[in-house]
Chains A and B, each alone.
Chain A
């Protein structure tokens, strides 16, 4: 097993992936990026040179590479207090301005957060007024999100979170068990468009009233976080809300002063200046 990768070799890989395939990992946070690269080498039984060869040749391989390099660990109703705050303050706040509104889940991964949002909106009786865009860099994870099918083991954590969220019913009312998997009810995604989008190189593509990007930017370095925050700013209507992860910070970003803190504990911000 390879214990460590030289920074120079990491750079060779990110440079090749950028030049050949148009994905930019050059500004990812180093420690977690290196760990995932070590994992790829181990799982696929490659060394640096054979990985570089494979990446130089194959166009199919890049999708597997992206799937391994992006972190796809998430939960429904992760941080139940955050979801309670959305239900009790943020969504009602959005609806003061617009009865119809749009939400962007940036870096939606396997879709747990999208499902959580729609369960919450459904229980609030406003789901049909909301249009949701859910995007990710990783094509195969978007397919998994569209299938809305999860392992029963993960549903235990999700159910516990839902109970702490104090939902109206039980989470099992929203899925059926098929072949040992939890299949979410189809109409839970009726207002959702899943779409491939690259936060790093892609442009802002619409205006939203609420953007969620929780525990995604932690994989970027500060320079990249700064750039991505500008895109979120450009993607929000004035007085729109931005939610980031509970331990993420943007106070040092260029655009931080165009937002006010709505809730520091749950890291929810409101755009107040263009």
Chain B
């Protein structure tokens, strides 16, 4: 059970995804227990003007509660957070979110790089970053921030991705600790879960 040499000192899991990541995320969320011990923070590319429906779609098979946080909302264990449409979502020191309407980054708002980099700054070595399928390079620099600050980096196996641009960008920018398929990512998170039991 020590394939991934995990400890129980992590503070959060952050997930980035874009085109082709939706099914994988649904699968991951459906497999996690309701008492998963860490907050899961998700920045997923989405339509700017559609405010509703995404949380509901992700919630159908999830035992965990999924929400789009308000500005300055506290980050709690056992919750899944989704960056709201047309806002960037940052993690602040002090364990809460801030939202912003700054210009798009990598043609995206929410931008994955912003969520990942701010989380890396706030959680340092106590962060796990996961980057899934996607069609642009957003998230690559965010994964580099996580690695540079001593966090754990995981990308979805490019061969499994519907569009592999995003994980490949991360692989070319920084050291990725694990390249895993969705099922292995689920195993990883379950093993992490057992560290906290």
Contact = CB atoms under 8 A, between A and B. Distances in A.
Interface of A: 3-4, 29-32, 35-36, 71, 73-74, 78-81, 160-161, 164, 215, 217-219, 221-222, 225, 245-249
Residue from B71, B99, B103, B118 having most chain A Cβ neighbours under 10 A? B71
Given A31-B91, A247-B87, 14 more contacts: A4-B121, A31-B92, A31-B121, A35-B102, A35-B114, A71-B102, A161-B49, A215-B101, A217-B71, A218-B101, A246-B51, A247-B71, A247-B84, A249-B71
Chain B's interface size range is: 20 to 34
Contacts, number: 70
Contacts of A245: 71, 101
Contacts of B114: 31, 35
B70 A249 contact: yes
11 contacts: A29-B92, A31-B121, A32-B100, A71-B102, A217-B71, A219-B100, A247-B68, A248-B70, A248-B71, A249-B71, A249-B72
Nearest to B87: A247
Contacts of A218: 71, 98-101
A36 B91 CA distance: 16
Nearest to A216: B101
B153 interface: no
B133 interface: no
A71 B100 contact: yes
A160 B118 CA distance: 32
B73 interface: yes
Interface string B70-112: 1111000000000010111011110000111111000000000
A32 B103 CA distance: 11
Contact of A32 (B49, B84, B90): B90
Interface in B57-72: 68-72
A30 B92 contact: yes
A31 B70 contact: no
A3 B113 CA distance: 13
A31 B101 contact: no
A44 to B, nearest CB: 17
Contacts of B87: 247
Contact of B99 (A4, A73, A247): A247
B118 A73 contact: no
Given A4-B121, A79-B51, A36 B102 contact: yes
Nearest to B90: A31
